[in-house]
Amino acid sequence: MEISEQNVESELKRRNPYALEFVMDHYGGHLHGLIQRILEGIAHKEDIEECCSDAFVAAWERVEEYDSAKGSLKTWLLILAKYKALDYRRKLQKRVETVTLQLDPASPSGVEDIFLSREESQEMINAIARLPEPDRSMFCKRYIYYETLDHIAAEFGLTKKAVENRLYRCRTTLKQSLAHVLKGG
């Protein structure tokens, strides 16, 4: 049977391996790109590939949970990939923190740096929460959910340039409100 956009969902649920191959061929680039952006700066190429494979395995194992009434197959796959990548990111960060602590466990600065980093993260979250709507939503969609400017513009009924300008103002506002953190205290 020929697999297509129209029958891929039913064939996946029937556990047709050609449907999984179709999904990997058609959506693999999107998943890989999202995972790469989420793991950027912390993961090796092999980690990204492994995470991508794990996302497809999760899709295969959880295909019964997919409901086309709630969204497209592509969106469902991207959500699975996002959560896999975030799990990987947490694991990789713990590995980095563990290695950092093991390098010099007697040094109070290692623990202090981790504590300060967490404090700075909380300040960043609070600063984002203070952004007015719809700027806060646009900022989160772009920098947390990695949505495209075109998608955000369409969702808010704005031009791409207008979204870029709003995001620029958000970044400027955040830099100003976090200036003391960025300068190191």
Tens-binned pLDDT, residue by residue, of the chain (185 aa): 788 888 999 999 999 999 999 999 999 999 999 999 999 888 889 999 999 999 999 999 999 998 888 888 999 999 999 999 999 988 888 775 554 444 444 444 555 555 556 667 778 788 888 999 999 999 888 887 788 899 999 999 999 999 999 999 999 998 888 776 555 54
The domain defined by 105-185 folds into Arc Repressor Mutant, subunit A (1.10.10)
Q: What angle do CA 35, 50, 3 make, to 5 degrees?
A: 80
Q: Where are the domains of the chain?
A: 1-103, 105-185
Cβ atoms 8, 19 nearer than 8 A = yes
Cβ atoms 39, 51 nearer than 8 A = yes
Matching CATH number, 1-103, of 3.40.50.2000, 3.90.780.10, 2.70.70.10, 1.10.1740.10: 1.10.1740.10
Secondary structure letter of residue 132 according to DSSP: P
- Rounded Cα distance, 15 and 135, in Å: 43
- Rounded Cα distance, 5 and 27, in Å: 11
